[in-house]
C-alpha cells in the first residue's frame, strides 16, 4: 500500500474548496493530525480507517442553536452560498445528519438535490434545502449536521460546512422529568 502525504493544508479551510484537480484515489496522511485517510473519487469523499467520512479540521463548527426533535418529526436543513462562473449543470447540494467524532462523520441520514447554476460574472446568492423525516431507529447521538456542494459539469469546487451538537434527540426512550415531592404534612 502506497501512502501519500496529503498535499493540502487542511488547517486552511479554503484549500479543499479551491482545488481544481481532484486528488488521485488512494491513501493519504493528514499532515496536521497524522490520521490516515482514503480518497474515493466516485463519492468525492475522504474516509477514515473506521469508514466515517473525513471532515477536515475547520469545517465542523459549534452549532449556534439546538433543535429538539424525535422519531416521525421533520428536520429541514437550509444552506446558502454565492456562485460566480460559467453555467454549471448537475451540481450536487448534499445534506447529512449523523455522528461526528474521532472516526470522522458517520452519516446516518443523507439527502441531495441537483442544481443548475447559470453563468454569472458576479457572485449570485442561492439557497437550497432538504427535509428529513426522523426515523424510529434514530440514535440519541445523531446530533451533528454537515452539508456540501460539489460536482456538476463543469465541476464546482467541493465546499463543506458543518455543525456539531445541533440536534437534541428526544422521545426515543421513555422518560420522566421534573419528578419531585409536591408536599408532605402530618395528617
- Single out the residue of 74, 80, 118, 119 nearest to residue 97, CA to CA: 74
- Single out the residue of 55, 67, 77, 60 nearest to residue 163, CA to CA: 60
Output the pLDDT for position 22: 62
Output the pLDDT for position 177: 83
* Average pLDDT over the chain, rounded to an integer: 83
Residue 178 is placed in which grid cell? 421534573
d(C-alpha 67, C-alpha 79), whole Å: 16
**For the whole prediction, is pTM greater than 0.75?**
no
Considering the domain delimited by 3-169, tell me its CATH architecture: Sandwich (2.60)
Q: What is the distance in angstroms between the CA of the first residue and the CA of the last residue of the chain? A: 80
Give 147's strand partners: 95, 161
| pLDDT tens profile 117-157 | 999 999 999 999 999 999 999 999 999 999 999 999 999 98
Does the pLDDT of residue 43 top 70, yes or no? Answer: yes
Instruction: Break the chain into its structural domains and give their ranges.
Output: 3-169
Does the pLDDT of residue 15 top 70, yes or no? Answer: no
- The confidence band for 17, taking pLDDT boundaries of 50, 70 and 90, is very low
Does the pLDDT of residue 32 top 70, yes or no? Answer: no
Amino acid at each position: 500500500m502506497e501512502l501519500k502525504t496529503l498535499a493540502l493544508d487542511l488547517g486552511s479551510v479554503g484549500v479543499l474548496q479551491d482545488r481544481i484537480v481532484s486528488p488521485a484515489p488512494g491513501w493519504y496522511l493528514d499532515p496536521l493530525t497524522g490520521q490516515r485517510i482514503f480518497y474515493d473519487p466516485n463519492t468525492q469523499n475522504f474516509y477514515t480507517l473506521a469508514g466515517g467520512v473525513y471532515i477536515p479540521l475547520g469545517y465542523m463548527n459549534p452549532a449556534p442553536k439546538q433543535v429538539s426533535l424525535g422519531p416521525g418529526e421533520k428536520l429541514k436543513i437550509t444552506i446558502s452560498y454565492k456562485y460566480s462562473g460559467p453555467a454549471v449543470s448537475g451540481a450536487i447540494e448534499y445534506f447529512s445528519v449523523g455522528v461526528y467524532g474521532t472516526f470522522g462523520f458517520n452519516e446516518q441520514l443523507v439527502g441531495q438535490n441537483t442544481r443548475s447554476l447559470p453563468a454569472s460574472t458576479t457572485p449570485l446568492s442561492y439557497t437550497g434545502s432538504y427535509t428529513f423525516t426522523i426515523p424510529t431507529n434514530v440514535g440519541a447521538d445523531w446530533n451533528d449536521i454537515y452539508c456540501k456542494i460539489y460536482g456538476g459539469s463543469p465541476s464546482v469546487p467541493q465546499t463543506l460546512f458543518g455543525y456539531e451538537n445541533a440536534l437534541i434527540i428526544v422521545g426515543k426512550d421513555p422518560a420522566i422529568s421534573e419528578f419531585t415531592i409536591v408536599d408532605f404534612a402530618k395528617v
